[in-house]
Copies of this chain bind each other. A is one copy, B any other.
Amino acid sequence: MKRLTVELEIICIGNELLIGKVLNTNAYWLGGQATNLGVDVKRVTVVQDIVFEIAQVILEVLARKPQFIITTGGLGPTFDDKTLQGIAKALNRNSEVNPKALEMVKEKYIQYAIAKKRPVGELTSAQIKMATLPEKTEPVKNPIGTAPSIRVDIDGTVLFALPGVPSEMEAIFTQSIAPIVKQTVGDVVFCEKSIFVSEIMESTLAPLIDKVMNDNPGIYIKSHPKGEENKPHIEIHLTLRAQSKNQPSEKILKALNELINLIQQTQKNLH
């Protein structure tokens, strides 16, 4: 039986995301994709390139038993790429050169050598590192870059470790992960609608939003102030995650209409 809510947690690995060097567009992109597939994205955790810390976060997330975990970053050939070691430590597994992953890495370097008309050399230890996976994990093809992605199944949770380079991460997610996620989610869709309201303060909108949420169970309404309370320009965002047979689009539209009516009455009273 398919559960109604499929949960995902995202773990982003990399000091550069914590020191204000790189904006975390990966979490943003993955969150959007997963949400549109009907997934409930529960948390994003950003953690340093420290094996112990990566392992800790993985164990904490596993304890919350989401159906999916996606990690980004830390799969490359350099010493600061520590995600595979972090996964091995979390799961208390040894790491070993995975023959299938090694084949993937080898194939890439043969292609590179041919493209550069250079002899094909032996793989270096830095290159073999990318194929050194925790035991009982499955490499997933990286159609763009060199480092394979990996899949690990742990007690009902599927963990995918993706590279941090956005183009590689996005290609692997789209090709290899989205279809698996969608199959798990089944017939659940995510619907959203926004309206923008000016000249009414957010605190004045608050009781109207409360009323519409009470009248429309399941619908979540968030206000996003874009201006200031004094010069208000507010986006009101309605969302609903539901099975499509339950007509979520129609439900959102009904709630939106009720909200628009309440706002218009309030505007009349203000003038």
Contacts and interface: CB of A to CB of B under 8 A. Distances in A.
Interface of A: 14-25, 27-36, 41-49, 53, 57, 60, 76-80, 108, 111-112, 115, 124-127, 129-130, 144-146, 165, 190, 201-207, 209-210, 213, 220-225, 228-230, 237, 239
A20 B35 contact: yes
Given A203-B77, A209-B78, A32 B21 contact: yes
Contacts of A146: 203, 229
A229 B124 CA distance: 14
A47 B221 CA distance: 17
A112 B19 contact: no
11 contacts: A18-B35, A19-B32, A24-B44, A42-B48, A45-B45, A77-B203, A79-B206, A80-B221, A112-B230, A127-B203, A145-B228
Contacts of A27: 17, 24, 46
A80 B223 contact: yes
A108 to B, nearest CB: 7
Q: For A17, A22, A31, A213, which residue has the most chain B Cβ atoms within 10 angstroms?
A: A31
A28 B20 contact: yes
Given A202-B77, A203-B124, A31 B17 contact: yes
B78 A206 contact: yes
Contacts of A213: 79
Nearest to A128: B203
B48 A19 contact: no
Given A15-B239, A130-B203, A145-B229, 13 more contacts: A16-B224, A18-B41, A18-B44, A19-B41, A20-B33, A21-B32, A24-B24, A24-B44, A43-B45, A76-B202, A78-B203, A79-B210, A108-B229
